[in-house]
Amino acid sequence: MALYAIGDLHLHFQTELKAKAQLRDRSWRNHEQKFRRNCAERIHPEDTLVLVGDHSWGRNLGECEQDMQYLSELPGRKILLRGNHDMFWDAKKTEALNKQFCGRLCFLQDNFFPCDDYALVGTKGHCFEGPFYLNRRGQIIGWDEKNEERSKKLVSREAERLRTSFESARAAGFRKYIVFLHYPPTSILEDDSVFTRMAEEYGAEQLIYAHSHGESRFYDSIHGEKNGIQYRLVSGDYLNWQPARIL
Ligand SMILES: [Fe+2]
Ligand SMILES: [Fe+2]
């Protein structure tokens, strides 16, 4: 039983595509077909695929119907994490989504899903993304402090949600964890964060994240091993639509 992950499919079967990067960048051309083919080649029915947020451009469930259909037809068990663009997913309605899509899709927030002897825990997360002010050499000399304050509130709310997820897994007897965040675990100003420290506190083995698009953003946060945790970016364009093998 294998575990795979990828994020940021940004599907738009029913909605007009407004994202310029998606229209411009060759790596996004027919990405749904590429990804479906890649999944069919490697993922088996007994495997698990975690979709790490930003599933659809649809603004509500009605506008996401075909996108959800596409996801449910991918092989294996599909677990969805909430991304910043997932307008269809009201944070308070995760349980309702789990009921509505029971047997087709699973929604990870304030809960966990078992995978062998691991608990898959996670939440959307958050990190401060500026705007930053640069000097002529491109060095950061300041940033929007009001925005930074707003960002701190979002970070602490998401940290609570991650703790709820960890605690529900621990209460069920799990001691091995893999953490999923949609946002990178650290901003470009940070070496660690409440999310990395919590992952260390619970002894998580891996922290998987997405959200960073385009070459200029791929190395905004941590890659590889740090303090005993493997960090991995799995945004779809970074992986060229090849789901990453996690376990
Ligand atoms: Fe995204
Ligand atoms: Fe995102």
Does residue 18 surpass a pLDDT of 70? no
Beta bridge partners of 137: none
Q: The pTM is what?
A: 0.96
For residue 237, give the ligand nearest its CA.
1
Which residues crowd ion ligand 2, with CB under 5 Å?
54, 83-84, 211
pLDDT in tens, 206-239: 999 999 999 999 999 999 999 999 999 999 999 9
Mean pLDDT of the chain: 95
pLDDT of 103 strictly over 70: yes
Please give the Cα distance from 131 to 56 (Å, whole number).
25
CA of 198 to the centre of ligand 1 (A): 24
Percentage with pLDDT > 70 across the chain = 99
Q: Is residue 25 very low, low, confident or very high in pLDDT (cuts 50, 70, 90)? A: confident
Tell me how far apart the alpha carbons of residues 177 and 112 are, in angstroms, rounded to a whole number. 10
Average pLDDT over residues 40-55: 98
Tell how far the Cα of 117 is from the centroid of ligand 1, in angstroms. Answer: 30
Distance in Å, CA 85 to ligand 2 centroid: 6
Residue 90: what pLDDT? 95
- Ligand 1 centroid–CA 175 distance in Å is 31
- CA 53 to centroid of ligand 1, rounded, Å: 7
pLDDT tens string 108-133: 999 999 999 999 999 999 999 999 99
Looking at the chain, the whole-number percentage of residues with pLDDT higher than 90 is: 90
In one-letter notation, the amino acid at residue 5 is A
